[in-house]
């Protein structure tokens, strides 16, 4: 929620988690791993509100495909899912379908009662919140001694020196936000070039949101 996002900046939680109790648990775990010389990864959730309807393409340049390509181009990213993602396989079609609700005086656009698809339909933005998650891997540079092999195949001990973060999840947040903005701006410019300067409608002011 917007108020939760504001809370992150106010409290300066270095985990960038808007839920204070969870942030405290995350911070404690990171400190524990730092002391042990190890590292951890995490999952970063992004929510885009008020995105215009109709951005993206039905085939090769689907909005989720463009976002996935951008996110997987960032350092340390190892996974991407949109909407319910992999959890969606546990649902039936009747549970997962985002059914449309009827129009009323408060809305000029159709909207769906649920958002399991994560704000996309057929590769095109639906006007609902775009929701996706990015998996960030554990930092590979850890201070624990590890067994490896040299270029010649000789077994050796690897010891990494220097200062290295035990978790880069919080550092990835502004990168993901920036790449998301770039992708959506690019898709908006493509649409403008194709159909001209037509107003792009969104569901941002929809009372059902």
Domain identity same for 103 and 152:
yes
Position 2 scores a pLDDT of 58
Residues 7, 57, single domain; the answer is no
- 3 assigned to some structural domain: yes
Instruction: Give me the pLDDT at residue 51, please.
Output: 92
Whether 104 has a pLDDT exceeding 90, the answer reads no
Are residues 133 and 164 both part of a single domain? yes
Would the pLDDT of 109 be above 80? no
Tell me, yes or no, whether 177 and 87 share the same domain.
yes
- Kindly give the interhelix angle for 63-71 and 169-195, rounded to the nearest 10 degrees: 140
Residue 1 pLDDT > 60: no
55 and 107 together in one domain: yes
113 and 174 co-located in one domain? yes
pLDDT at 66: 98
- Predicted confidence at residue 192, as pLDDT, reads 87
153 exposure class (CB count in 10 Å sphere: 0-12, 13-18, 19+):
exposed
In this predicted structure, the answer to whether residue 206 has a pLDDT above a threshold of 60 is no
**Model pTM?**
0.84
- The highest-confidence range among 37-41, 101-105, 200-204, 205-209, by mean pLDDT, is 37-41
User: So what's the pLDDT on residue 3?
Assistant: 62
Higher pLDDT, 194 or 172: 172
Q: Are residues 120 and 67 in the same domain?
A: yes
- Contacts of residue 16, Cβ cutoff 8 Å, sequence gap at least 6: 8, 169, 170, 173
**Residue ranges making up the domain that contains 18:** 1-36
Distance CA 130, CA 63 (A): 10
CATH number of the domain within which 62 lies: 3.60.150.10
User: How high is the pLDDT of residue 95?
Assistant: 96
Co-location of 32 and 54 in the same domain: no
- Does the pLDDT of residue 132 top 70, yes or no? yes
Whether residues 123 and 175 share a domain: the answer is yes
Residue 207 in domain? no
User: Quick check: is 204 in a domain?
Assistant: no
């Amino acid at each position: 929620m917007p108020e939760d996002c504001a809370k992150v900046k106010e409290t300066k939680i270095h985990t960038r988690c808007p839920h204070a109790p969870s942030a405290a648990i995350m911070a404690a775990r990171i400190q524990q791993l730092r002391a042990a010389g190890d590292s951890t990864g995490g999952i970063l959730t992004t929510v885009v509100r008020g995105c215009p309807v109709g951005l993206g393409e039905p085939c090769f340049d689907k909005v989720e495909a463009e976002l996935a390509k951008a996110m997987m181009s960032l350092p340390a990213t190892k996974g991407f899912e949109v909407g319910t993602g992999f959890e969606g396989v546990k649902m039936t079609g009747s549970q997962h379908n985002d059914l449309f609700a009827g129009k009323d005086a408060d809305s000029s656009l159709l909207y769906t009662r649920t958002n399991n698809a994560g704000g996309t339909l057929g590769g095109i933005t639906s006007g609902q919140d775009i929701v996706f998650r990015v998996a960030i891997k554990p930092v590979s540079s850890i201070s624990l001694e590890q067994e490896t092999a040299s270029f010649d195949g000789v077994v050796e001990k690897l010891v990494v020196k220097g200062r290295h973060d035990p978790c880069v999840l919080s550092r990835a947040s502004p990168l993901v936000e920036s790449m998301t903005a770039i992708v959506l701006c690019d898709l908006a410019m493509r649409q403008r070039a194709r159909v001209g300067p037509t107003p792009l409608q969104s569901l941002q002011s929809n009372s059902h949101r």
